[in-house]
Chains A and B, each alone.
Chain A
Amino acid sequence: MDYVNALAIITNFILLPGLTYGSQLALGAMGVTLIYAVLRFSNFAHGEIMSFGTMVCILFTWLGQSYGLSLGFLPTAILFIPVAMFFTVLYCLLIEKYVFSYYREKKSNPIIFLIASIGVMFFTAGLIRFIIGPSDQSFNDGVRFIFNVREFKAFTGLNEGFGLKTSQAITFLMTIILCALLFFFLNRTRTGKSMRAFSDNEDLALLSGIDPNKVVLLTWIIAGGLATFAGVLYGLDKIYKPFIFLQMLLPIFSAAIVGGVGNPLGAFFGGYIIALSELFVTFAYKKVLGYILPENLEPSSMMQFLATDYKFSVSFIILVIVLIIKPTGLFNGKTI
Chain B
Amino acid sequence: MKKLITTLLALCLMNSASFSDVKLGIIIGFTGPIESLAPDMAAGAEAAIDEVNKSGSFSMGNVSVVRADSTCIDSSAATAAAERLITSDKIQGIMGADCSGVTTAILQQVAMANGIAMISPSATSPALSTVEDNNLFFRTAPSDARQGEVIAEVLMEKGLTNVALSYVNNDYGKGLAASFEKNFKAAGGTITLSAPHEDDKGDYSAEAGALAQAGGDILVVAGYLNSGGKGIIQASLDTGGFDQFFLPDGMIGDSLPQDIGPALNGSIGTLPGTDSPGMAKYSDLASAAGFKPGPFSMESYDAAALILLAMEATKSSDSQVYKYAIDEIANAPGEIIYPGELGKALDLLKAGKDIDYVGASAVELVGGGESAGNYAIMEVIDGKNVPVSYK
Contact = CB atoms under 8 A, between A and B. Distances in A.
Contacts of B203: 17, 21, 238
A308 B202 contact: no
Contacts, number: 89
Interface stretch (A130-138, A255-263, A317-325): A130-138
B195 interface: yes
B193 A302 contact: yes
Contacts of A308: 195, 197, 206-207, 209-210
A40 interface: no
Contact of B238 (A165, A247, A307, A309): A165
A286 B212 CA distance: 10
B231 A239 contact: yes
A311 B202 contact: no
Given A302-B213, A309-B169, A243 B200 contact: yes
A247 B201 contact: yes
B67 to A, nearest CB: 18
Contact of B212 (A13, A243, A309): A13
B74 interface: no
B202 A304 contact: no
A304 B192 CA distance: 14
A302 B231 CA distance: 22
B205 interface: yes
Contacts of A150: 240
Nearest to A138: B259
A135 B202 contact: no
B31 interface: yes
A248 B202 contact: yes
B300 interface: no
Interface string A159-172: 00111010000000
A244 B202 contact: yes
Interface in A175-233: none
A86 interface: no
Interface string B100-122: 00000000000000000000000
B80 to A, nearest CB: 18
Nearest to A287: B213
A282 interface: yes
Interface in B235-253: 238-240
B381 interface: no
Contacts of A136: 226
Tell which of B205, B238, B239 has the most Cβ of chain A within 10 Å: B205
Contact of A163 (B31, B169, B201, B240): B240
Nearest to A240: B202
A302 B210 contact: yes
Contacts of A239: 202, 231, 234
Given A148-B240, A284-B210, A241 B205 contact: no
B77 interface: no
A148 B261 CA distance: 15
B239 A163 contact: yes
Interface in A3-18: 9, 12-14, 17
Contacts of A282: 206, 209-210
Contact of B206 (A161, A163, A278, A286): A278
A302 B214 contact: yes
Contacts of A62: none
A161 B238 CA distance: 12
Given A150-B240, A239-B231, A135 B206 contact: no
Contact of A238 (B31, B202, B259): B202
A283 interface: yes
B354 interface: no
B21 interface: no
A149 B210 CA distance: 17
A113 interface: no
B206 A283 contact: yes
A263 B239 CA distance: 34
Contacts of A286: 213-214
Interface in B184-216: 193, 195-198, 200-203, 205-210, 212-215
Contacts of B193: 284, 302
Interface string B11-36: 00000000000000000000100010
A285 B213 contact: yes
Nearest to B36: A135
A272 interface: no
Contacts of A144: 238
21 contacts: A9-B213, A17-B203, A17-B239, A135-B226, A149-B239, A149-B240, A163-B239, A239-B234, A244-B200, A247-B201, A282-B210, A283-B210, A283-B213, A284-B193, A284-B210, A285-B213, A286-B213, A302-B193, A307-B210, A308-B195, A308-B206
Given A239-B234, A284-B214, A287-B215, 7 more contacts: A12-B239, A12-B240, A238-B202, A244-B202, A286-B213, A307-B210, A311-B206
Interface of B: 31, 35, 169, 193, 195-198, 200-203, 205-210, 212-215, 226, 231, 234, 238-240, 259
